[in-house]
Structure 1
């Protein structure tokens, strides 16, 4: 069974950007509001049946291909349903600041949205302009009633002033646990890995093309605000969400680019063929993005030629695999222990 090539899958959105995605993937941006690409996606945008779903070269949805042979794709245990890959991977290229927003955790998603996944996510910085930052969590405990007032007033200055500002650099990995308020400066280009949902609560919609009524998952703010943490994210807790391994030279061994706290939710690794071959990667469903160079991905049951900017969906049935040639790759996969952790209704 061979890896499946993923043609570009740009997604229009409410914020500007996308030129660096277009350059990496070898396409022309259709509009200035094309700041995302969903890689290997078997889930669609919230409230839409098809936007975001990945297509294959044949024109078929990857979702349908996976559902037709889920055992080959994810192994003997399936996820939430037959097309569940346990992960969503995006390229996100913001040319304007993203709004302050929050994603719900699994318990809220299960009870309010009939979904066992929340939306913990992580960013891996591919490129950034000088002094660009991400905002992660509150820098002090926040009064919930005041947050409601500031949200209704769309007081962006107050929200950002009460958040932790982290200046980013290329190769930095940042984990954003569900429930944590966050935002991203314009000028940052990231690969994002997350739980496979599109659940977002906008605390700040005024800088976007969205409206208040499109900002609370169709549940109303009274229902969704309890899922928003108002506790301070203390310095030591913030430090535990940041990993700088990716700023070191890429190695032949696959290495994690995210803090260990991400492991129950998803894994993001990198490796460099260095003109020869990498170490073996364990069998399992994954999404591979070739960030530069040319080479070959060789598995037990199939192979694929690699070139910079390409993306592939990797089925479990490929077996163990490695990369050959002078090429660098990012590899995103479901959390360690998935899907058993999902069936157990928890992550640990």
Structure 2
């Protein structure tokens, strides 16, 4: 039986709005000074991670999902369901919206729409995100979009490190400049741009917008989802539940010492934001550090953590 963590090699994505913070904060070997995304835990076809340890070293997370489903509690589905990223927005991201599962299947031919959530790792002073809009009806939304009334339409919110936002499909949103976040989402790469500040892409043209589909899928009126952050301390490990919803449950873990035995009911995705430590399984130690991404497979009955580190963890709710 597979009795060790599955460590993954990150995949990087260059973006027009990206920068160098992924290197500065996590010592990643980024491909350029416009690196916007680290795909830390991904089975998506646009960037599946390679496994770097154990008997599956050299295989992709997709390989493990397709051929060793016992590692994932024999969960159903053709694709690994979640995608965990770290984003660096040196510049504003486009204002965008994502479809739900039904629209993604019927219009895009994809299995998943995109519901996501954000944990703010770091940001500059006075940083903002766009989260929602002020239109009261679909007609008002359409009119404001078509007339470019962005200042009146878009809802801006200041952010600081440690903030958390749950972003269901249908929510107009954008990460502002100077922010680094960890994003947990459905395994989807479908994005509809609503507005992009008239930026010019690599081809010398304004980047494509997707107004018809954006208007199709946007929730009107906008309503903030309720987020209740519950936390408790247990033997050196503080657990804080950030969200539990249809697709995923996400926690923030703060490790200071040694945890009690942990007994996962499913497989657990772990991304290390700060510090370092050790996972112990059957008396064998596996070291981790800031910037690492790994999975505790469902075949592990129990494990402990020791060290000092802060982590974002998640699991699928399929």
Range of TM-score over shorter length:
0.7 to 0.9
Three-state SS of the structure 1 residue aligned to 2:17 is coil
- CA–CA separation in structure 2 for the residues paired with 1:214 and 1:70: 39
Shift of 1:175: 0.8
- CA–CA separation in structure 2 for the residues paired with 1:232 and 1:297: 45
1:111 to 100, 106, 111: 106
Aligned twin of 1:75? 73
- CA–CA separation in structure 1 for the residues paired with 2:296 and 2:209: 34
CA contact (8 A) 2:144 2:150 kept: no
- CA–CA separation in structure 1 for the residues paired with 2:80 and 2:283: 20
Shift of 1:269: 1.1
Aligned twin of 1:324? 306
- CA–CA separation in structure 1 for the residues paired with 2:82 and 2:12: 18
> Which residues of 2 match residues 230-249 of structure 1 at below 5 A?
231-233=220-222, 237-238=223-224, 240-242=225-227
Shift of 1:197: 0.6
Shift of 1:12: 1.4
CA contact (8 A) 1:89 1:194 kept: yes
> Which residues of 2 match residues 293-332 of structure 1 at below 5 A?
293-299=275-281, 304-332=286-314
Relative to structure 1, is the Cα distance of residues 160 and 89 closer, same or farther in structure 2, using a 3 angstrom cutoff?
A: farther
Aligned twin of 1:9? 11
> Which residues of 2 match residues 129-208 of structure 1 at below 5 A?
129-144=124-139, 147=142, 150-151=145-146, 155=148, 158-205=149-196, 206-207=198-199
CA contact (8 A) 1:103 1:119 kept: yes
CA contact (8 A) 1:172 1:242 kept: no
TM-score (norm: length of structure 2):
0.85
Shift of 1:8: 3.0
2:86 to 88, 91, 104: 91
Structure 1, unpaired ranges of 5+ = 46-51, 339-348
Counting matched residue pairs gives: 307
Larger helix share, 1 or 2: 1
Larger strand share, 1 or 2: 2
> Which residues of 2 match residues 335-346 of structure 1 at below 5 A?
335=317, 338=318
Structure 2, unpaired ranges of 5+ = none
CA RMSD of aligned residues (A): 2.8
Provide, for residues 16-71 of structure 1, a one-character-per-residue CA deviation record: whole Å limited to 9, x for no partner: 22x222234323433222110111200033xxxxxx22122244322112212112
CA contact (8 A) 2:10 2:41 kept: no
- CA–CA separation in structure 1 for the residues paired with 2:227 and 2:63: 36
Provide, for residues 106-129 of structure 1, a one-character-per-residue CA deviation record: whole Å limited to 9, x for no partner: 121122223342101111000011
TM-score (norm: length of structure 1):
0.78
Relative to structure 1, is the Cα distance of residues 333 and 4 closer, same or farther in structure 2, using a 3 angstrom cutoff?
A: same
